[in-house]
Structure 1
Amino acid sequence: MRLSRYLAHGGVSSRRAAEELIRAGRVTVGGETVTDPARDVGEHSGVAFDGAPVRPAPRTVVYVLNKPRGVVSTAKDTHGRRTVVELVRTPARIYPVGRLDADSTGLILLTDDGELANRLTHPRFEVPKTYLATVARPPVREHELRKLREGVQLDDGRTTPARVRRISPTQLEITIHEGRKRQIRRMLDAVGHPVKELQRIAFGPLRLTDLAEGASRRLTPAEVEQLRRYAPDRGGAGGRAPRARR
């Protein structure tokens, strides 16, 4: 990983401050001063700050959960409702990546890596999210599909183009790259087909596959790296991404 990120994860400073520390010549790698924040390092590189070794950054923990209906996508709930965090057994301090509203089901990620979570939800990276929507007032006609694909005018602006596939008269598969509040539901309302059921079936490279409702599993290191490639570290995503409900 980048040297500046390694220092930030090792608790030396924030990533931006770490870049300045590196440029000031206060960081060594393998006993040699390094002034490039983008230098690639790992746990065996011998990174030190002002002569003191920097411990390796902790390994990122990411879980995928098949969220049931009625469970809220927060770490805690003031109304006593069950949360997605409660469904994942882990000693790590995790929280959801974005949100699904309580009535929606399907794939949601949880992680202890705030930086990765922010990049996965930030509009800049356009990480695709795919949903299976069961709608009222079938069938969805071609001109309505075209509106969804080209962009729908909502009260907070026009949506960006979506990928839409009609699976049956009552079911659509929709892929979006945005993260507006309850976006899929509002898009389908706008074309005259309110949502009866909504399930997220994919997030970036990950698909729900055969994970049972309410079950979770920890992603492998290879799967975590796949996620990182969808939202690569480019020195910051320009601020904290909004948490949106779909």
Structure 2
Amino acid sequence: MRINKYLAMSGVASRRKAEEYILEGRIDVNGQTISSLSFLVDPDADEVMLDGEVLRSEEKVYILLNKPAGFITTVSDDKNRPTVMDLVKSGKRIFPVGRLDYDTTGVLLLSNDGDLANILLHPSNKVLRTYNVKLDKPFDHTHLESLLKGISLDGVKGKFSSVIVDRKNPKLLTIQCTEGRNLFVKRMFRKLGYFVDKLNRSEFAGFTVDGMKTGAWRFISHHEIKDALAKYTHR
């Protein structure tokens, strides 16, 4: 088994993050520091360590959080700012699946399943995200075509799958996209001259926080995960 897959199965990070750990020299196998992403391990025979701690295979855990504003989406923060881990006291070693900005609210998944994170975050799977947006000024409908056909961000075109403008208040929009790039929604609107005053993710991969108070969290059943992943994998 490739070392990055083993790390993901151990619940320490997604495969992509696990690769960073390897390249940073934080992974030892049988006392030897590993630097190759293609290194193979035997889960039944090899001792794998992260930062000197032996890793064990863990039962997969899935959590849904209604993230409030004012929390960093990370496991820890070197500036001692509040993180989403301060909200979720599950007793399990978990990590956020993707990210929401400091001031963005709504649906956030956390898990120790690196394969899940890889599936939901990989661009090729086009996992749907729904956002409620409040702009600093009324939306100009002449910009609708640009949002749907695409806007260049750092040389790569980004677009929304759908845009719905509130009839009573044109500062309010509901958009859908399959992009997970950092600050994607805010940057798209900024390109057209808008600032996003409030941003809430109301749906991600079919999960919503309807009926959940801000800051509340719950465990997600394996059945729910299986249903959510049905369109992306046969596992």
The two structures have a TM-score, normalised by structure 1, of 0.70
Once the two structures are overlaid, the 10-residue window that deviates more, 224-233 or 177-186, is: 224-233
Q: Map 1:127-138 onto structure 2 (within 5 A).
A: 127-138=127-138
Aligned CA distance change for structure 1 residues 68 and 229 (closer, same or farther; 3 Å): same
Q: In the alignment, does 2:165 pair up with 1:166?
A: yes
8 Å contact from structure 1 (residues 127, 230) kept in 2:
no
8 Å contact from structure 2 (residues 147, 188) kept in 1:
yes
Q: Aligned residue for 1:186?
A: 187
- SS state at 2:146 partner: helix
Q: Map 1:70-81 onto structure 2 (within 5 A).
A: 70-81=70-81
Q: Map 1:15-164 onto structure 2 (within 5 A).
A: 59-138=59-138, 140-164=139-163
Shift of 1:202: 0.3
C-alpha offsets along residues 178-200 of structure 1, whole Å, 9 cap, x if unaligned? Answer: 11110000001112221000011
Given residue 77 of structure 1, which amino acid in structure 2 is its aligned partner?
D
Q: Aligned residue for 2:197?
A: 196
In structure 1, distance between residues paired with 2:91 and 2:231: 27
The two structures have a TM-score, normalised by structure 2, of 0.73
Q: Unaligned 5+ residue runs, structure 1?
A: 22-48, 51-56, 235-246
In structure 2, distance between residues paired with 1:212 and 1:115: 29
Aligned CA distance change for structure 1 residues 96 and 148 (closer, same or farther; 3 Å): same
- SS state at 1:107 partner: strand
Shift of 1:9: 5.1
8 Å contact from structure 1 (residues 60, 112) kept in 2:
yes
Aligned CA distance change for structure 1 residues 99 and 156 (closer, same or farther; 3 Å): farther
Q: Unaligned 5+ residue runs, structure 2?
A: 11-36, 46-56
Q: Aligned residue for 1:35?
A: none
Given residue 97 of structure 1, which amino acid in structure 2 is its aligned partner?
V
- SS state at 1:206 partner: coil
In structure 1, distance between residues paired with 2:164 and 2:186: 16
C-alpha offsets along residues 56-109 of structure 1, whole Å, 9 cap, x if unaligned? Answer: x75421111111111000000111111112211212110000001101111110
Stretches (4+) displaced over 4 A: none
In structure 1, distance between residues paired with 2:9 and 2:190: 43
- SS state at 2:78 partner: coil
Count the aligned residue pairs. 191
What RMSD in Å do the two structures reach over aligned CA positions? 2.8
Given residue 107 of structure 2, which amino acid in structure 1 is its aligned partner?
L
8 Å contact from structure 1 (residues 205, 226) kept in 2:
no
Aligned CA distance change for structure 1 residues 208 and 110 (closer, same or farther; 3 Å): same
Identity %: 34
Aligned CA distance change for structure 1 residues 67 and 161 (closer, same or farther; 3 Å): closer
- SS state at 1:89 partner: coil
In structure 1, distance between residues paired with 2:218 and 2:159: 32
Aligned CA distance change for structure 1 residues 224 and 102 (closer, same or farther; 3 Å): same
C-alpha offsets along residues 109-139 of structure 1, whole Å, 9 cap, x if unaligned? Answer: 000101111111110111111111100121x
C-alpha offsets along residues 128-172 of structure 1, whole Å, 9 cap, x if unaligned? Answer: 11111100121x122212211111122342114421111231111
